Chain A
Amino acid sequence: MPIKVAYQATIEYMQILDEQGVLDADLARDTLTDDQVVMLYEHMSMCRRLDEIAFKLQRSGRLGTYPQNMGQEAIASVALAARKQDWMVPCYRENAALFLHGLPPEKILQHWMGDERGNQIPDGLNMLPMSIPIGTHMLHAAGIGWAAKLRGIDQVAFTFFGDGSTSEGDFHEACNFAGVMEAPVVFFCQNNGWAISTPRKKQTRAETFAQKGLAYGLKVRQVDGNDIFAIYKAAQEAIVDAKAGKPTLIETLTYRLGDHTTADDARRYRDSDELDAAKKKDPLIRVRKYLESKDLWSADLEDAMVERNKVKVDDIVARATNIEAPKTSDIFDAMFATTPPELARQRDTMHTHSLGQFPQQETLSNPTPHPAHA
């Protein structure tokens, strides 16, 4: 009996705007308008500036830890493809998309400055707070999409995670659930080459991260992650599929130009040659080249934009800095829908008694003083 092929698949790679700023006009049809590209360029540049300032804030002790997003700003175009009602379920390296979906940038700074209120999402914005543990939130994205479907609400959940996350069980469980439940979910695996110091080749022997989704019956594709057009188009098509009960896993090939976080120093484990090569693929450079080639941009416009972005970022930092610090006792107030008496007692006595000590010891008699105090 002949051996048959039980399953065969190919992984498509899509690039629309190359490193030189040359656009594939056919693939680019019905994607981003010129105005959108200009807006994205200015937005991504603002995000880059904010990233640099956040780094300095951390170094000067005004911010706890910060994971720079530098080099991955092209993910912003997901937010242009997404509809207002769609959900963003983020980790921490897609600020550019979150801001464009409606999150005030000062919220992110507030969070990294150590104020949990920075994770509060404004009314009317469908977004979960940033998830810092690796992998955890992909299941929430699957659950958000699934819950929307159960409730008959037309919403798609977009989630973002790095290449390292795909080694967590959560990734596989989330993909499996999304597939089985036919949930409207779009998984963005931002393959930036590094999971802190673990290189991509130590993460998996699979040729692509995209192919991992095949095992769960997802639609999969690989795109240039520094290409705003490719990301936009992939997201746009994934929304259509998601609404039809077909979740998608999109692997974006990008690069983490900065350190993992401010607690990391990538120079210790990463070749400078690799970094230099990656810098040439910077999403900002190619968009500028493209805009200049279409006479939509100039050195003057660039200078004016840089000035505008300085002001914007200064405003963001000022807004984050001027938020009144929470009170120490506030840590007790967001534990339950209604604060139970035991917790209220801990809150009310935190400055006078160590945790767990009940201030009102019920005694039969006065305690005998220690001889030293007698």
Chain B
Amino acid sequence: MTTAMIETTRQIQYREALREAMSEEMRADKRVFLLGEEVAEYNGAYKISQGMLDEFGPKRIIDSPISENGFAGLGIAAAMHGLRPIIEFMSWSFSLVAADQILNNAPKMLYMSGGQWGCPIVFRGNDGAGGQLASTHSWCVEGLFANVPGMHMAIPSCPYDAKGLLKTAIRCNDPVFFLESERMLGDKGPVPEEEYTIPFGEAILRAEGDDCTLVSFGRPVNFCIEAMVELAKEEISCDVLDMRTIRPLDIDSIVRSVKKTGRLVVVDQSWPFASPATEVITQVCERAFDYLDHQPVRVNSDDVPTPYAKELEQAYLPHKGKIIEAVKSTLGLV
């Protein structure tokens, strides 16, 4: 588990942090390139790659036809040829048409080739709901994709982590699924000028408390922090663990915290069935069952397609109110 972050007064947006990570790694390693829809001339559908075409040119910032399975497959081959591709999905929702390449090829290539052909590739893009994009464009793919062995899955909750984790992803020799959030792209946060990376598989403790362990991934970490602040007013204190990566999962940090608090609430934005929350709870039960003073509780999105209407969508997603209620339930207060 990590607790220290480099202090800085510089505030930049989540999208700028992503851009800085890619640009710095591209300056350092000529093999790295970015391929995706509208990443070059249009500067990215979400302006993450703004200005990168000017700096790196069309051989390294590459516009693709609208063909997710196509450019995912091209990227995999380019990685096998010796390059280090970053593949941008405008949304992870669109990666579903690339399932054969990203699930059936990239994470299996090393295994299927008897350990010979690694696949150092980063698939990245917006994950998650909250922007009134309706059910087909609001996928939280972590529950579905994390089931597949052979890849790493990073899910940053703030600009600092977006940069540090993406740099690690680009340097990684295995496939990395990098889950960003459209809802956070404009969020500002402290990001130091100086070089840093964040290791995979090490959670960070965002807040410390004794009554309950709150575990989350990506955007909902911020809702956990909001809930933690509210709960503190009622003298209920929580450990808030931001897992940073879903695979590998830093279960040791979770177990350590649960042994202290005896209570566990896991918040993840995917659907409940076979979700990251399910996995965390299973592993805690396997490892520290005796330490639990209350059954673990999970806060997921409801088990229906993402609603389009604003109020319904907010009601469907994990949010502060649901998290507060979950924590209180573990304390016998509701």
Contact = CB atoms under 8 A, between A and B. Distances in A.
Instruction: Choose among B110, B113, B251, B289 the residue with the greatest number of A CB atoms under 10 Å from its CB.
Output: B113
B114 interface: yes
B81 A144 contact: yes
A142 B291 contact: no
B283 A140 contact: no
Interface stretch (A65-73, A279-287, A293-301, A358-366): A358-366
Contacts of B272: none
Interface in B68-124: 69-78, 80-83, 97, 100-101, 104-105, 110-118
A133 B100 contact: yes
Interface residues of B, number: 52
B77 A334 contact: no
A144 B174 contact: no
Contact of A151 (B71, B81, B201, B287): B81
A286 to B, nearest CB: 36
B149 interface: yes
A361 B70 contact: no
Given A147-B77, A337-B173, A362 B291 contact: yes
B114 A118 contact: yes
Contact of B73 (A143, A335, A361): A143
B150 interface: yes
Nearest to B73: A139
A181 to B, nearest CB: 8
Instruction: Choose among B72, B73, B249 the residue with the greatest number of A CB atoms under 10 Å from its CB.
Output: B73
A170 B110 contact: no
Given A116-B113, A177-B70, A336 B77 contact: no
Contacts of A170: 69-70, 73, 100
B33 interface: yes
B290 interface: yes
A361 B283 CA distance: 10
Given A169-B69, A362-B255, A363-B290, A150 B114 contact: no
Given A139-B70, A170-B73, A177-B71, A120 B116 contact: yes
B81 A139 contact: no
A104 interface: no
A365 B290 CA distance: 8
B110 A336 contact: yes
6 contacts: A116-B114, A119-B113, A121-B117, A333-B115, A335-B150, A342-B248
Interface of A: 115-121, 128-129, 133, 135-136, 139-144, 146-148, 150-151, 169-170, 173-174, 176-177, 180-181, 331, 333-338, 340, 342, 356-358, 360-365
Interface of B: 33, 59, 64-65, 67, 69-78, 80-83, 97, 100-101, 104-105, 110-118, 149-150, 172-174, 201, 248-249, 251, 255, 259, 282-283, 286-291
Given A150-B83, A362-B291, 5 more contacts: A142-B77, A151-B82, A331-B111, A334-B110, A358-B283
Instruction: For the complex of A and B, list the 4 residue pairs with the smallest distance between their C-beta atoms, beginning with the closest.
Output: A143-B77, A139-B73, A173-B70, A337-B173
